[in-house]
Structure 1
Amino acid sequence: MEKETCFYPKGGKNFVNAEDVAEGILKAIENGKTGEKYLLANENLKYKEFFQKVNHLTDQKVILLPIPNFVLVLLGFIGDFLRALKIKTSLSSTNMKALRIENFYSNQKSVEQLGVHYQSIDKGITDAIQYFQNKK
């Protein structure tokens, strides 16, 4: 089996199961305090870690290569230029910056004050894979 190559940005983000978000919204309605804000967050993962989980759970053999930050910066400038020309694109300096940073959060407040119980992100990934496979 030949390995495919996949590129990933060096940053990271917080991943949370859709079921946990739905539970958190219901618990915020039931138990939340007026005026308070609650983050429904679960696992902080670098993009490389996330893609490794996806590849493991789908039994894919993939070579993961990081995208150098200067490439993302350049793509952001290109996107900004295209947008200035009124050309629709998802490339922008803002979007490319988001891929370079570790956008991590804590779920401590939602756990302690709302009683949200978060599931493993592996379950969320598996559920998403099954959902998309069934949509074929």
Structure 2
Amino acid sequence: MVLVTGGTGLVGSHLLYFLLKKGVAVRAIHRKSSKLESVREVFKFYAEDPDFLYNSIEWMEADVTDIPALKQAFKGVTHVYHSAAYISFNPRHFQKLKKSNIEGTANIVNLCIEHKVSKLCHVSSIATLGSTTDGSLIDEQVAWNPEANNSVYAITKYGAEMEVWRGTQEGVDAVILNPALIMGSGHWRSGSGVIVNMVAKEAKYYTSGGVAIVDVQDVVNAMIMLMESEIRNDQFILAGENLRYKELLSKLAASLEVKPPSKLIPKWKLDLVRRLDWLSAKLTGSRRRLLKATVNSMYKESYYDGGKITRHLDFKYTPADETLARIGENFRK
């Protein structure tokens, strides 16, 4: 039996489909507030009968911070795909991030040890890696820098990795994946889906930064291949291509058949919008929509080397044009 955490997220829902396609017996945990319908919506992109596949999953209600429920979920489990995470760059959410990402991962690791799970696959983030000083591509050897201006999300995802490495010292075989910006179909209101929605509405502006991207199907393929391989206690960046934001948004616009962004917005101007957003939230209690960490990332060029996995496995990345074309086609359905 394979256990999947975060099964209702972008990575998790695509992972569930490809595991079921391979005939794997799958149990997936979900929080009470999770939208299970999002999984069925993703399955519709692949299958003529998404309900049959959806009903093949053994669903269990359990949060990664709920140890008694997790204990039930781990019964009979041999392999664990841990993709659940709380995502926020708001410093006010640090305690929630810490509880879900660090304590939640520690719970998963501890139960893997207790149940003698054969292998654990942990989905982390490129946010846990450091940066180069000479502009060269960032690879797995570029270590986390605790002195850098790290986001609260990055801090807790790094803490989660430390829990996984602890587990490897206590008998758990594990692999850690550090995906770049994950592009995929579905979940249009979160993650990269927000970018797709923004371009679909013919946003006029782009920023001067750059980003590494990876197809969600490549992430899932890497997860499954690594779990089925003899590779253990190792870490892999997943980054298919490095693109400037203007290029990424233009390619997305072409796939969506809309006008691409045409105006560069200077950082000072977006910073002003961010400050006004902060003031509005302070006065009205509304949710922050633009955070300092988000603005900084939009003007930063962070490029990554995802080649390590191609040297260890017969793995190939999907070209960005093919990924974005598929996303555009599915979004228009």
**Structure 2: which 5+ runs fail to align?**
1-201
User: 283, 287, 290: which is aligned to 1:91?
Assistant: 290
Corresponding residue number in structure 2 for 1:29 = 227
Identify which range, 55-64 or 97-106, moves more after superposition.
55-64
| Partners of 1:33 and 1:108 in 2: CA distance | 16
User: How far apart are 1:50 and its partner, in Å?
Assistant: 0.9
Is 2:241 the partner of 1:43? yes
Distance 1:95 1:5, change over 3 A: closer
Q: Secondary structure at the match of 2:328?
A: helix
Corresponding residue number in structure 2 for 1:117 = 316
CA RMSD of aligned residues (A): 2.3
Identify which range, 125-134 or 62-71, moves more after superposition.
62-71
Is 2:326 the partner of 1:127? yes
CA radius of gyration, larger in = 2
User: How far apart are 1:59 and its partner, in Å?
Assistant: 4.4
Identify which range, 67-76 or 28-37, moves more after superposition.
28-37
Runs of 4+ in 1 over 6 A off after TM superposition: none
Give the conservation status (yes or no) of the 8 Å contact 2:206–2:261.
no
- Relative to the length of structure 1, the TM-score reads 0.81
Distance 1:82 1:63, change over 3 A: closer
Higher helix share: 1
Count of residue correspondences: 131
Identity across aligned pairs (percent)? 24
Q: Secondary structure at the match of 1:45?
A: strand
- Relative to the length of structure 2, the TM-score reads 0.36
**Structure 1: which 5+ runs fail to align?**
none
Give the conservation status (yes or no) of the 8 Å contact 1:32–1:113.
no
Give the conservation status (yes or no) of the 8 Å contact 1:5–1:65.
no
Corresponding residue number in structure 2 for 1:56 = 254
Identify which range, 69-78 or 123-132, moves more after superposition.
69-78
- Residue by residue over 1:45-98, the C-alpha shift from the partner in whole angstroms, topping out at 9 and shown as x without a partner, is 001111222233444444511110111222333344455564312211111111
